[in-house]
Amino acid sequence: MQTRVTPWQVLKQRDFGFFWVSLLFSAIGTQISAVAIAWQVYQITDSPLQLGLTGLFRALPVMILSLPGGVLADRVDRRKLLMITQSLAALLSLTLGALTSTGKIQVWQIYGVTFLSGAVGIFDAPARTAMIPALVSADQLASAYALNITWRQIATLAGPFVGGIVLSAWGISEAYYLDAASFAAVIICLAFMQHRVKPAVGRKESPFESVRVGFVFVRESSVILALMGMDACVQFFGAYRSMMPVFARDILGSGPSTLGLLLGIPALGALAGSGVILAAGNPRRKGQLIISVTLLYTVGLICFALSRSLLLSLAIVFCLGLVDAVGETLRDTLVQLRTPDVMRGRVKSFDQVFMSAGTYLGHAQMGAAASLFGVPGALVIGGCVGSAAVLTIAKFSRGLRSIAN
């Protein structure tokens, strides 16, 4: 009989608890900076196109550098790597603050710093994720990853709100300085961390050989490949968030306030989903649970596309956020449990490539499909294709279906 794991038991693990709190502070600072960047770019250019380009410059490093980031996370001390990346991120925010304070900042400088920040994040994320199994026990891993989603969603909700207050009360440069200061929380936490998460012992190999070995591991691990493929397919065919302005204005007949609700409510749902996993502790039959919640997510996409009621649409996107968080937590837990420590950074980097390809290419796919079938029609088709992809992958991945723990 499994012992139920509570979130407090996980947070009481000294190093993990401090790490969690520091990441929350840093993430809120990052959200504040994101609000400042968006406001400043639009203030300088008055161009929605140039505003949208900030997302492109954030996405490019993910596509280019994810694999090298994973290789590095497996070859060096992850704690020291995080201290370096957090320090570089703080320096980049300080640079934006200093440029803004001079009154001579230009949009290309913001794009450049955005690209570099994205690049730093690529080296940061695999090391950060790969550290978690070293800070908690195996039976606490599902709860640890649920808490990992929780801090991200709290930051997603609180950060923009705090950012708006900071911009109104103090100004843009102060928002950047506040973001820079927030990275100090993670750096201090890492400096006083009792665990010394050293690089896993493995044979010496070239970086290209490391990437090849990582690719072979993912390809030959049917469960991990199925999880990544399932997530990428659903994200690619069901990129509904990219069409939210159309749903808010043209389908639900409302304005920016409704758009904010449609974009914010899924984060509340994700917090609820994290709570579900935290309450469950370490659920059994994770493979079948992942298949079920992912299939439920695709059905929710179809329901959202067909809704013409604001209240019903909000309820649906809340549920989408909830089941997405449950699925993400269970996927991350299974992947980490089935990945040896020597491979964790690389596997996480492959996962980032899958997610990025699904998400960013999905935006383009959804736009193209919407031009042919209309936005609701494109999302209905995407939900149906996503459901078919989930069922197909589940059918051929016997290993995923048969997982008991």
pLDDT of 404 strictly over 70: no
Quickly state the pLDDT bin for 320 (edges 50, 70, 90).
very high
Per-residue pLDDT, 298: 96
pLDDT digits (tens, 9 = 90+) for 62-72: 777 777 776 77
Per-residue pLDDT, 303: 96
* Ramachandran bin of 285, using left for φ above 0, alpha for ψ from -120 to 50, beta for the remaining angles: left
pLDDT digits (tens, 9 = 90+) for 371-403: 888 889 999 999 999 999 999 998 888 778 776
Q: For residues 109 and 111, what is the distance between their CA atoms, to the nearest angstrom?
A: 5
Per-residue pLDDT, 282: 66
- Please classify residue 63 by burial: count the beta carbons closer than 10 Å to its beta carbon, then call 0-12 exposed, 13-18 middle and 19+ buried: middle
Residues of the chain with CATH 1.20.1250.20: 1-199, 206-405
If you average pLDDT over residues 19-35, what whole number do you get?
88
Query: Higher pLDDT residue, 323 or 7?
Result: 323
3 state DSSP class of 239:
coil
pLDDT digits (tens, 9 = 90+) for 247-284: 887 888 876 567 767 877 888 888 888 788 777 766 77
**Average confidence score pLDDT of the chain:** 82
Q: For residues 116 and 106, what is the distance between their CA atoms, to the nearest angstrom?
A: 16
pLDDT of 107 strictly over 60: yes
pLDDT digits (tens, 9 = 90+) for 325-350: 888 888 887 887 788 877 777 787 77
* Residue carrying structure tokens 């606490």: 140
If you average pLDDT over residues 164-176, what whole number do you get?
85
Topology given in CATH for the domain delimited by 206-405: Growth Hormone; Chain: A; (1.20.1250)
If you average pLDDT over residues 178-204, what whole number do you get?
79
pLDDT digits (tens, 9 = 90+) for 114-156: 899 988 888 887 778 778 887 888 778 778 877 877 787 778 7
- What's the predicted TM-score (pTM) here? 0.69
Most confident of 130-144, 196-210, 290-304, 360-374: 290-304
Per-residue pLDDT, 176: 94
If you average pLDDT over residues 284-309, what whole number do you get?
91
Q: For residues 28 and 42, what is the distance between their CA atoms, to the nearest angstrom?
A: 22
If you average pLDDT over residues 292-301, what whole number do you get?
95
Per-residue pLDDT, 261: 76
If you average pLDDT over residues 159-175, what whole number do you get?
81
For the stretch 68-91, what's the b/e string if a residue is b when 16 or more beta carbons lie within 10 angstroms of its beta carbon?
Answer: bbbbbbbbbebbebbbebbebbbe
The helix-helix angle for 107-135 and 48-75 (nearest 10°) equals 40
Topology given in CATH for the domain delimited by 1-199: Growth Hormone; Chain: A; (1.20.1250)
For residue 253, give the nearest of 307, 194, 189, 190 by alpha carbon.
307
Quickly state the pLDDT bin for 310 (edges 50, 70, 90).
very high
For residue 389, give the nearest of 226, 249, 271, 246 by alpha carbon.
226
Q: For residues 335 and 180, what is the distance between their CA atoms, to the nearest angstrom?
A: 32
Query: Higher pLDDT residue, 319 or 153?
Result: 319
pLDDT of 98 strictly over 90: yes
The residue count of the chain comes to 405
Q: For residues 311 and 324, what is the distance between their CA atoms, to the nearest angstrom?
A: 20
Token pair of 276 as six digits? 């579900």
Most confident of 27-41, 157-171, 241-255, 275-289: 27-41
Report DSSP state, residue 194.
S
Token pair of 9 as six digits? 């038991």
Per-residue pLDDT, 1: 43
Residues 6+ apart with CB under 8 A from 354: 228, 229, 231, 232
